[in-house]
Amino acid sequence: MNNIKAVITGVHGYVPEYILTNEEISKMVDTSDEWIMTRIGIKERRILKGEGKGASDLGYEAVKGLLEKTKTSPDEIDFLICATVTPDMQFPATANIISDKVGIKNAFSFDVNAGCSGFLFALSTAVSYIESGRCKKIVVVGAEKMSSIVDYSDRTTCPIFGDGAGAVLVEPTTESNGIIDFILKVDGSGRKHLHQKAGGSVKPASHETIDAKEHFIYQEGQPVFKYAVSNMASVAEEILKKHNLTANDIAWLVPHQANLRIIDATANRIGLSKEKVMINIQKYGNTTSATLPICLWEWEKKLKKGDNIILAAFGAGFTWGSMYIKWAYNS
Ligand code: UT7
């Protein structure tokens, strides 16, 4: 049997400086800090300002920092995957742009678009390339400039999203710690509840699509909420059962940060107390593909070798999934 496992050997993140508070949002649309805090759990989010800046600029900062802190030369990287729903442009891939900006030259790269589950889907791709023996050092980065597709006159979506990026380095190991397993799911019929109506091949950009505000996020909050609560909790529970784990065995749950109520429901379903759940939604909002690596980055110093960690996500697609990691290092 192949005993090569993939392991995360470093993590880094980046959030832009500008802080968009609930107070400021309350001046743009009819809402309040109280409503946003009770229904979503977000106090503020970061926004990338500046002409000509895109997701790759956020990804660049995360990847550059990752390579520096892990003392990895860009030349050693053989694969970079970028999870994003807000690519710099339709093509080429933002992964290619990040690789170029960071100076990664001996690698191939591509983007993964799996909505808010993008980082999980991308990381699972890296796992497969490592386990097969094909790659030795892979960067997985989730990078999003969500502010580029948010309609700041729509109170049902504009408080939710923020900009940011997080990246991990993935390498092979023959030790027992590493990425143990993952479960990924998709139900494309859910697309009707959460999508961007125009700008793709079905409805290319036109004056009409712009006037109709069809280049922004379209979300029917309630059905998305319902599916997110039930599926994120189920898939987290499924991976625990598969590995005979109980809440006591788990050091940390790393949930996608879309809504505090969805996070709470997932933790409750697997019987996990709140101290074991990584929550930073109040500071950054929903950064889509970047929520999970930004959490790992912020909690990195608290993580211990051998900790059982469960990642869980749900997003547009619908896509959802979970991952079981035995953390491999003390920092
Ligand atoms: O990561 C990708 C996956 N996305 C998600 O996981 C998002 C899932 N959905 C949600 O998190 C929630 O559904 C929302 C946060 C989007 C909305 O919360 P909700 O508790 O489901 O509110 P609702 O849509 O049922 O709206 C309740 C009321 C409505 O007013 P009426 O019709 O009852 O008079 C809305 O118009 O709240 C109103 N409302 C607001 N009021 C103040 C909606 N947005 C706002 C707002 N401020 N920002």
**How sure is the predictor about 287, in pLDDT bands with cuts at 50, 70 and 90?**
very high
Q: In this predicted structure, what is the pLDDT of residue 26?
A: 98
Active site annotation includes 295: no
Residue of 22, 231, 286, 308 marked catalytic: 286
Same domain membership, residue 194 and residue 236: yes
Residue 251 C-beta-side C-alpha neighbours within 13 Å = 15
CA nearest ligand 1 atom 41, residue? 31
Do 125 and 221 reside in the same domain of the chain? no
Whether the per-residue pLDDT at 1 is higher than 90: the answer is: no
For residue 313, is pLDDT > 80? yes
pLDDT band, very low/low/confident/very high, at 85 (cuts 50, 70, 90): very high
Longest dimension (CA), the chain: 60
Pocket test for ligand 1, best of 156, 192, 262 (most atoms within 8 A of CB): 156
Tell which residue, 283, 282, 266, 247, has the closest CA to residue 322: 266
Q: How many domains does the chain have?
A: 2
| Mean predicted lDDT score pLDDT of the chain | 97
Which residue among 176, 201, 216 closes a domain?
Answer: 176
What is the C-alpha end-to-end distance of the chain, expressed in Å?
A: 31
Q: What percent of the chain has pLDDT over 70?
A: 99
What does the pLDDT average to over 204-219?
A: 98
Mean pLDDT of 154-160: 97
Pocket of ligand 1 (CB under 6 A): 31, 35, 39-40, 116, 155-156, 159, 221-222, 224-225, 228, 258-259, 262, 286, 315-316
**Counting atoms of ligand 1 from 1, which one is nearest the CA of 40?**
15
Strand order in the sheet with 319-326: 178-186, 319-326, 308-315, 252-255
| pLDDT tens-digit series, residues 90-112 | 999 999 999 999 999 999 999 99
Examine the fold and report which residue of 176, 204, 235 is the final residue of a domain before the chain moves on. Answer: 176
pLDDT of residue 156: 97
Count of CB atoms situated within 10 Å of the CB of 226: 12
Same domain, residue pair 153 and 12: yes
How far is the C-alpha of 88 from the C-alpha of 305, rounded, in Å?
A: 36
Give the pair of three-digit tokens for residue 103: 């100076």
> Could you tell me if 29 and 88 lie in one domain?
yes
Residues 152 and 194 in one domain: no
9 and 103 belong to one structural domain: yes
230: domain CATH number is 3.40.47.10
The predicted pLDDT at position 2 comes to 66
Structural domain harbouring 191: 180-326
Q: Write the pLDDT tens digit of every residue in 227-280.
A: 999 999 999 999 999 999 999 999 999 999 999 999 999 999 999 999 999 999
| Residue 331 within a domain | no
Q: Do 105 and 152 belong to one domain?
A: yes
The pLDDT assigned to 145 comes to 98
pLDDT of residue 3: 87
- Tell me if residue 308 is catalytic: no
| Residues 304, 198 share a domain | yes
| 190 and 128 assigned to the same domain | no
Q: Are residues 89 and 218 in the same domain?
A: no
What is residue 280's predicted lDDT score, i.e. its pLDDT?
A: 98
Instruction: Indicate if 286 belongs to the active site.
Output: yes
Pair type for strands 194-196 and 178-186: unpaired
Co-location of 74 and 144 in the same domain: yes
What is the whole-number distance in angstroms between the Cα of residue 157 and the centre of ligand 1? 8
Task: Judge if 15 and 143 occupy the same domain.
Answer: yes
What's the gap in Å between 84 CA and the centre of ligand 1? 24
Which of 27, 31, 37, 39 maximizes ligand 1 atoms within 8 Å of its Cβ, making it the mutation to test the pocket? 39
